[in-house]
Amino acid sequence: MSEPEVVRRPDGGALADAIADALVERTNAALAERGVAHLVLTGGGMGIAALRSLRLAAERGSLDWSRVHLWWGDERFLPTKDAERNETQACEALIDHIGIPSDHVHPMPASDGMDGDHVEHAATRYKRELTRAAHGEASVPDFDVCLLGVGPDAHVASLFPGLPEVREDEASVAAVRNSPKPPPRRITLTMPALRSAREVWVLASGEGKAEPVRLGLAGGSTDEAPVAGARGRERTLFWVDEAAAARI
Ligand SMILES: O=C(O)[C@H](O)[C@@H](O)[C@H](O)[C@H](O)COP(=O)(O)O
């Protein structure tokens, strides 16, 4: 696993723009090398701000969306098009405005989908979708970049300190029933799935993220600070504004 590198920008707006430009560059490189790119999106303030910036950055960088696949690191288990779903916010910020094939957008199931209100069944469905897109014995596709927001409690995706899903070390997807961050029910990639990505980018803006950023860089107990386990196979970047960098 790669040791984390820090990329600093003055404020949230500059940070979102820098993340977007780097994501276009990384995605174009993946397309040149392998003809396809798999990106994992995240929710939260900086996660969605980066997608808003990505819309224009992709135009500037002539990104060919027709060979890109979009996945999610986690999702709030709510009805389709609910304003609080990460997918809804990603569509408003980016996906509804780009020419990406609809079968290249892989949202996690909604609570009114084919599995109804069964979050475990929905998690299993996503696990199967990931495996179908994987190569060989892998259980998930070859993710190029996994974006992760980080919570004030140092959670990433919907892996929260002390909850059992953080310790899941085999399955690629888990159902969460008691998230401390509303809503309580979520679907999340597990640590092994997140860490299978070539690159993991942690996005942190604001003084409330200074301590989780310090914990993430220190690399301590993943159970106590899941962000400490946010590492990519080839590269790990912590994208921070000056407020979130205050304890580095
Ligand atoms: O569904 C979610 O809530 C997100 O995926 C979550 O992991 C988020 O990225 C962090 O909680 C940071 O969110 P903020 O940037 O809004 O603090």
The pick from 71, 72, 150, 238 for probing ligand 1's pocket by mutation, whose C-beta has the most ligand atoms within 8 angstroms, reads: 150
**Nearest Cα residue to atom 8 of ligand 1:** 44
Q: Residue 76, Cα to own-chain centre: how many angstroms?
A: 13
pTM for the full model?
0.98
CA of 42 to the centre of ligand 1 (A): 7
> Could you tell me the sign of the dihedral formed by the alpha carbons of 230, 50, 40, 107, in that order?
positive
Instruction: Give the nearest ligand 1 atom to 75 CA.
Output: 1
3 state DSSP class of 75: strand
Helix axes 12-34, 45-60, angle to 10 degrees: 60
Check: complex ipTM more than 0.90: yes
Token output for 133: 């897109």
DSSP 192: H
Token output for 215: 């914990």
Give the model's pLDDT for residue 219: 92
CA of 71 to the centre of ligand 1 (A): 16
Q: From first to last of its 248 residues, what are the pLDDT tens digits of the chain?
A: 889 999 999 999 999 999 999 999 999 999 999 999 999 999 999 999 999 999 999 999 999 999 999 999 999 999 999 999 999 999 999 999 999 999 999 999 999 999 999 999 999 999 999 999 999 999 999 999 999 999 999 999 999 999 999 999 999 999 999 999 999 999 999 999 999 999 999 999 999 999 999 999 999 999 999 999 999 999 999 999 999 999 99
Instruction: Give the nearest ligand 1 atom to 156 CA.
Output: 7
Give the model's pLDDT for residue 156: 98
Token output for 17: 């723009």
CA of 131 to the centre of ligand 1 (A): 25
The pick from 15, 19, 40, 42 for probing ligand 1's pocket by mutation, whose C-beta has the most ligand atoms within 8 angstroms, reads: 42
Instruction: Give the nearest ligand 1 atom to 46 CA.
Output: 15
In order of 28, 118, 168, 199, the CA distances from 171 in angstroms are: 30, 18, 7, 20
How is the chain split into domains, by residue range? 4-219+236-241
The pick from 181, 238, 239, 240 for probing ligand 1's pocket by mutation, whose C-beta has the most ligand atoms within 8 angstroms, reads: 181
Contact indicator for 196, 169 with CB cutoff of 8 Å = no
Give the model's pLDDT for residue 1: 84
C-alpha–C-alpha distance, residues 109 and 88, integer Å = 12
CA of 39 to the centre of ligand 1 (A): 17
CATH class (in words) of the domain with range 4-219+236-241: alpha beta
